[in-house]
Amino acid sequence: MTETKSSRAFASDNWAGVHPDVLQAIADANIGHAASYGNDEWSGRAVEKVRELVGADCDVFFLFSGTAANVLGLQSIVRPYQSVICAETAHIYTSECGAPEKHTGSKLIPLPSPNGKIQTADIEAQLGYTGNEHHAQPRAVSITQSTEYGTVYSLTEIRKIADVAHKNGMSLHMDGARIFNAAVSLDCTLAATTREAGVDVLSFGGTKNGLIAGEAVVFFDRALAKDFEFRRMQGMQLSSKMRFIAAQFIALLSNDLWKQNAAHANRMAAMLGKGLASVPGVKLTQSVDSNSVFATLPASLIPKLQKEFAFHVWSKPKNEIRLVTSFDTEESDVSRFVELAAKT
């Protein structure tokens, strides 16, 4: 990525800042000393807030980074001689600089995923060498919800994948960097699209929905959480002043802030998608299910749009761009972008 503009735009939801309520929560937590490393009252309350939304029967650990949530969550499941099945478009496969392989020592097995989703038949096709010592043994399936293409697995799709995973001795990991956008898209609870659909380990992402930096790993299969406090510490993800991560999550998960933020972002993406679809020469390439829009457009249009808006050119050969909306996208941003595209 070579984006250098810093105006409010469509580069990524991590170009957005922090929601004012979240910032206020940090300030409110800044009262004297508090026990470090999560032994403070905010951390306990934040865990309860997560449980209110995904169900009480789980273990919750906060950390700094979404990549770390994925990597350490997977590390809790797989040994180095086991493998992780994922989409060839998965963030863990394409965009974490090999962190999963480095830290778990395991192989990742990419499956075709033209729309960001994997299929159960492709998972099953990887299971031919069970018990054969020459082949890394599939032990986890990882899916992203919402996907890197902004599409959203239906509850039934997740359940089918979970069933195949469980039937074959594998656990289901979900990269939920944008789990809030997915839940809003599905109009379901966070529990419905995670635990109730069969997810065992969840990367629960706060940063892309209005936090400064705050992620969690949620274990619905609590046996896998054993010793996770050690994995987190050795994984360099234990915040000493953890109350400030916890306070952010408390704010996000209170008063439906998570839902308002995600719903707004999704609405802006829908508006953007609709607007672009009506522009001659522009073609949406993925279903706009959550907060991103993928589209091909005339090559000459890209630099013109980039003069005013930062965004990511997904595929140069195809002239395909990715536009991501966030909690602070404004309708005027959307209409201006569409207007520019149409005018040119």
Residues 265-284 contacting a copy of itself, CB under 8 A:
none
Residue with tokens 């140069």: 316
Helix axes 243-253, 41-54, angle to 10 degrees: 30
Q: How far is the CB of 130 from a copy of itself (least distance, A)?
A: 12
State how far the Cα of 298 lies from the Cα of 29, in Å rounded to an integer. Answer: 50
Q: Does residue 233 interact with a copy of itself by CB under 8 A?
A: yes
CB-CB contact of 1 with 315 (8 Å): no
Which residues in 43-72 contact a copy of itself (CB under 8 A)? 64-68, 71
Neighbours of 331 (CB within 10 A): 11
Q: Are strands 82-87 and 137-144 parallel, antiparallel or unpaired?
A: parallel
Q: Does residue 136 interact with a copy of itself by CB under 8 A?
A: yes
Tell me 136's DSSP state: P
Stretch that binds a copy of itself, among 105-113, 161-169, 255-263, 274-282 (CB under 8 A): 105-113
Which residues in 199-218 contact a copy of itself (CB under 8 A)? 207-208, 212-213
Q: How far is the CB of 39 from a copy of itself (least distance, A)?
A: 7
CB-CB contact of 189 with 52 (8 Å): no
State how far the Cα of 65 lies from the Cα of 177, in Å rounded to an integer. Answer: 10
Single out the residue of 219, 244, 258, 311 in contact with a copy of itself (rule: CB under 8 A). 244
Q: Does residue 116 interact with a copy of itself by CB under 8 A?
A: no
Which residues in 76-95 contact a copy of itself (CB under 8 A)? 79-83, 94-95
Q: How far is the CB of 344 from a copy of itself (least distance, A)?
A: 22
Q: How far is the CB of 11 from a copy of itself (least distance, A)?
A: 7
Name which of 81 and 256 has its Cβ closer to a copy of itself. Answer: 81
CB-CB contact of 73 with 217 (8 Å): yes
Q: Does residue 36 interact with a copy of itself by CB under 8 A?
A: yes
CB-CB contact of 206 with 214 (8 Å): yes
Q: Does residue 97 interact with a copy of itself by CB under 8 A?
A: yes
Q: How far is the CB of 172 from a copy of itself (least distance, A)?
A: 20
Name which of 9 and 334 has its Cβ closer to a copy of itself. Answer: 9
Which helix (H) or strand (E) is 283 found in, with range? strand 283-284
Can you give the length of the chain in residues? Answer: 344
- Quote the Cα angle for 245-72-238, to 5°: 35
Which residues in 16-35 contact a copy of itself (CB under 8 A)? 16-18, 20, 23, 26-27, 29-35
